[in-house]
Structure 1
């Protein structure tokens, strides 16, 4: 049985683009995915301490290509088959680790991120993985609190694998203060 995400979180009156579907991203879409990540990052402009993220680096084209080759880079696409969001992940040990999830700012708030995460959960279940993991900001509403509503659990230091601790340390080296970040895990129902 695959974990099904709750349907709450869509604002009243926002049905969203029901025709958005999830598929594997394609090689010729990598630059579009990078533009989507840049667009999604504009939400950080509203948070003074993190506004630099709106103009900071996005996932490299090389990294997108690596994850495409692994079959773990999905695109949320419109009726016209144009990407409006994406999720990049990687199988590490018995987990599927989400490296990046971004939805174009004009398409945020319609459940597209939830559809992308459901795809990751389905992939993990199909491939016999134990969990889906990620790192994120603790207090930003569309980060940790959002993932908690979807069933992810924040890991304390004693529960965290060395791999996730290393990811948080690497993020700190790139300017993301360790005390503002957390690692999260959602166990996959077999």
Structure 2
């Protein structure tokens, strides 16, 4: 099996990304991801801005775009805002390769930490990120940005969300 090819997203990749995001969302139990949220994807303008700013990557596998990762930064802190792999391409190391690319971006950019929010109990969420060096944060360790993100996610109906961070 060929390894995925990770590269910066091009503008012509953008139309494929919502399909990947929605297909990945369908894997979540409805108790974790309410039905309405299964129909929502990252706004096109946000993807386009990330693409222009060099903080959106795609994974190619089997000749097609199979996943993507979106990151951002605030000061010396990086954030993995989104990472999705189409279920047709799952369990092939694509998610691991995408996260590794974002980790490399953060290190190369001189960032001190890389943080994210995820589900605590799903094996392809918090346990996956822990295997890549992320640590679950206690409420007392949350920066305002992560605290606000978790509060907004909970208000939207997402349950069992946690923040994780990796020191780079």
| TM-score using structure 2 length | 0.93
Deviation at 1:43, TM superposition (A): 1.0
Q: 1:39 aligns with which of 16, 19, 23?
A: 23
Alignment-derived partner of residue 74 in structure 1: 57
Greater strand content: 2
Deviation at 1:171, TM superposition (A): 1.4
Change (3 A) 1:41 1:64: same
Q: Any idea what the Cα deviations from partners look like across 1:14-43, whole Å, max 9, x if unmatched?
A: xx432x211011112112011111111121
Q: Structure 2: where are the runs of 5+ without partners?
A: none
Alignment-derived partner of residue 126 in structure 1: 108
- Kindly report the root-mean-square deviation, in angstroms, between the aligned alpha carbons of the 2 structures: 1.6
- Deviating above 3 A after TM superposition, structure 1's stretches of 4 or more consecutive aligned residues are none
Q: Any idea what the Cα deviations from partners look like across 1:106-145, whole Å, max 9, x if unmatched?
A: 1111111010011011111111001111000111111111
Q: Structure 1: where are the runs of 5+ without partners?
A: 1-15
Deviation at 1:66, TM superposition (A): 1.6
Q: Please give the alpha-carbon distance, in whole angstroms, between the structure 2 residues aligned to 1:115 and 1:172.
A: 29
Change (3 A) 1:71 1:86: same
| TM-score using structure 1 length | 0.82
Alignment-derived partner of residue 82 in structure 2: 100
Q: 1:59 aligns with which of 20, 42, 49?
A: 42
